[in-house]
Amino acid sequence: MHSSNGWDHIVPIDNIDRSLFEEFTCGVAQFDTWLLRESRTAVARGQCQVHVCIDNTCLPVAFFTLSSTAINSDDLSGSSRGGIHGQIPATLLGKLGVRSDLTGRGLGTRVLHHAMQFALDASMKVSSRLLVVDALNDGLVSWYTERGFIQLPSGGLRLVCKMSKIRNICNRMGANYFTV
């Protein structure tokens, strides 16, 4: 039985046996391969942190990655720029995936909300003005836009969401929403 989130815990990837990912697929082959073969090396090198949502049987349900990045203020609208010129500190939501057999249940949105909360918590310790995501395709641009992100003025697949907006989104969800 899954919790209302679809998972019971969110843990660092290093806390999970590698063999549990052999059957995991999120439907994006490059993500599946990366998760199984490269994710732990990326963590060890300090490229990102991989957070895994696991169910009560310790099977992975979903995952997301977060890392530090910066975005050039010239690439942003005035509101996102916030009067900053040059490089703006940001957090990158690099990868997000939900197990394929569980899609269509709203779990992707819940994983995104948890990633937002993790990014917001981190921004209280290490400054970050924005959460940045590079959508895989135009359909995902719409999906992220519906969840509070805005496309860069140049268009394309890069989107951002200000931490102040994330704070409002997470506050509306309430603390119980983020209990895992």
* pLDDT given for residue 110 in this prediction: 94
CA distance 32 to 25: 6
pLDDT (tens digit per residue) in 120-137: 999 999 999 999 999 999
* pLDDT given for residue 113 in this prediction: 96
CATH architecture classification, 9-174:
3-Layer(aba) Sandwich (3.40)
Q: Give the global pTM.
A: 0.92
Would you call 62 helix, strand, or coil by DSSP?
strand
Please provide the size of the chain in residues: 180
Q: At 1, is the pLDDT very low, low, confident or very high (cuts 50, 70, 90)?
A: very low
Q: What percent of the chain has pLDDT over 70?
A: 97
Q: Are strands 130-134 and 87-98 parallel, antiparallel or unpaired?
A: parallel
CB-based contacts of 105: which residues, under 8 Å, 6+ apart? 6
Q: Which residue has the higher pLDDT, 46 or 104?
A: 46
CA dihedral sign, ordered 110, 9, 117, 128: negative
